[in-house]
């Protein structure tokens, strides 16, 4: 028997849940834009917002720029290996799983993510584009050829202080870098084109766990709205997207998204 979830026990306001569920019920082509908050309840740190967030503990310039990598490869590679280890150990949360359910219900359901983890894929979602690259999509810093995936050392998740020498390119001998977009780098065209194609056509956009601080990703919410989409925000906090939202579910993704599905099923 299906478990009944009582929305009144949760911090999401029932009237907001009702409105979000009615928008989703009316939607033919929903989509989601996700950020680091999507994976927070899987135990992965966000970039901003809490004392344990990544950019409150480290300077992005010292770890997430081409210059940082040129100056201290072992520091940067060790830090990314630590993050890869954390992702490898993490599990998709109830929010990722709720989006995977939506992707089975709506054949065109698409996920545009800023996340470099692979938790949407591991939850079973299929139409996904990664605007900021992928932690496991390594490539050569010199010749840009992709490098085969390798096993993350078991102790990589133990601490960010681990210094590790990056592997060398099988073709040119250059150093391998993580396949993420660093500050000061151009976002690759393909995921951006895919994102705008999907969001131009979507009629409802779930905006989940993003602070709206990083462009051009943040501008996609206004873009989808201009093309006629309703906007449902899922975030425990207000963000720069709040004024664009038709409704704001003020809770974590792992709480709000299953509640939304449950409310939809009872409507």
Binding residues (CB under 6 A) for ligand OAD: these are 35-37, 40-41, 46-49, 53, 64, 114, 132, 180-181, 208-211, 213-214, 234-237, 239, 252-253
Q: How far is the CB of 142 from ligand OAD (least distance, A)?
A: 21
**In the complex with ligand OAD, which residue's Cβ is closer, 78 or 252?**
252
Using a 10 angstrom Cβ sphere, with 0-12 exposed, 13-18 middle and 19 or more buried, the burial of residue 178 is buried
SS percent in the chain: helix, strand, coil, step 5: 40, 15, 45
**In the complex with ligand OAD, which residue's Cβ is closer, 30 or 95?**
95
DSSP string, 157-174: GS-TT---PPPB-TTT--
Active-site residue flag, 132: yes
**In the complex with ligand OAD, which residue's Cβ is closer, 1 or 189?**
189
* CA–CA gap between residue 36 and residue 45 (Å, rounded): 7
* CA–CA gap between residue 223 and residue 228 (Å, rounded): 9
Residue nearest to ligand OAD (CB): 37
Q: How far is the CB of 251 from ligand OAD (least distance, A)?
A: 7
**In the complex with ligand OAD, which residue's Cβ is closer, 161 or 186?**
186
Q: How far is the CB of 105 from ligand OAD (least distance, A)?
A: 21
Q: How far is the CB of 47 from ligand OAD (least distance, A)?
A: 3
* CA–CA gap between residue 21 and residue 247 (Å, rounded): 10
Q: Is 212 left (phi over 0), alpha (psi -120 to 50) or beta?
A: left
DSSP string, 199-266: HHH-SEEEEES--S-STTTTHHHHHHHHTT-EEEEE-SS--TTGGG-SEEE-S-HHHHHHHHHHHHHT
* CA–CA gap between residue 144 and residue 247 (Å, rounded): 42
Q: How far is the CB of 83 from ligand OAD (least distance, A)?
A: 10
**In the complex with ligand OAD, which residue's Cβ is closer, 78 or 134?**
134
* CA–CA gap between residue 87 and residue 119 (Å, rounded): 8
Q: What are the φ and ψ backbone dihedral angles of 80, each rounded to 5 degrees?
A: -70, -35
Which residue among 120, 132, 138, 147 is the active-site one?
132
What are the residue numbers of the active site? 132
């Amino acid at each position: 028997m299906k478990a009944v979830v009582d929305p009144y026990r949760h911090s999401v306001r029932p009237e907001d849940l009702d409105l979000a569920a009615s928008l989703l019920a009316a939607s033919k082509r929903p989509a989601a834009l996700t950020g680091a908050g999507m994976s927070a309840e899987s135990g992965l740190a966000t970039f901003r917002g809490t004392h344990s967030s990544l950019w409150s503990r480290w300077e992005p310039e010292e770890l997430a720029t081409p210059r940082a990598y040129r100056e201290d490869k072992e520091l940067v590679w060790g830090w990314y290996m630590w993050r890869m280890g954390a992702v490898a150990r993490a599990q998709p949360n109830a929010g990722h799983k709720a989006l995977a359910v939506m992707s089975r219900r709506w054949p065109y359901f698409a996920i545009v993510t800023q996340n470099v983890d692979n938790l949407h894929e591991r939850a079973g979602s299929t139409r996904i584009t990664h605007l900021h690259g992928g932690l496991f999509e390594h490539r050569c810093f010199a010749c840009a050829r992709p490098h085969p995936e390798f096993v993350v050392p078991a102790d990589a998740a133990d601490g960010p202080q681990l210094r590790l020498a990056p592997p060398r390119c099988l073709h040119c001998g250059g150093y391998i870098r993580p396949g993420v977009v660093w500050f000061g780098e151009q976002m690759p065209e393909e995921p951006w084109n895919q994102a705008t194609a999907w969001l131009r056509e979507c009629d409802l956009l779930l905006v989940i766990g993003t602070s709206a601080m990083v462009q051009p990703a943040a501008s996609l919410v206004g873009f989808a709205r201009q093309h006629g989409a309703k906007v449902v925000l899922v975030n425990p906090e207000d963000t720069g997207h709040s004024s664009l939202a038709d409704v704001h579910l003020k809770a974590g993704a792992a709480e709000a998204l299953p509640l939304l599905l449950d409310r939809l099923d009872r409507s």
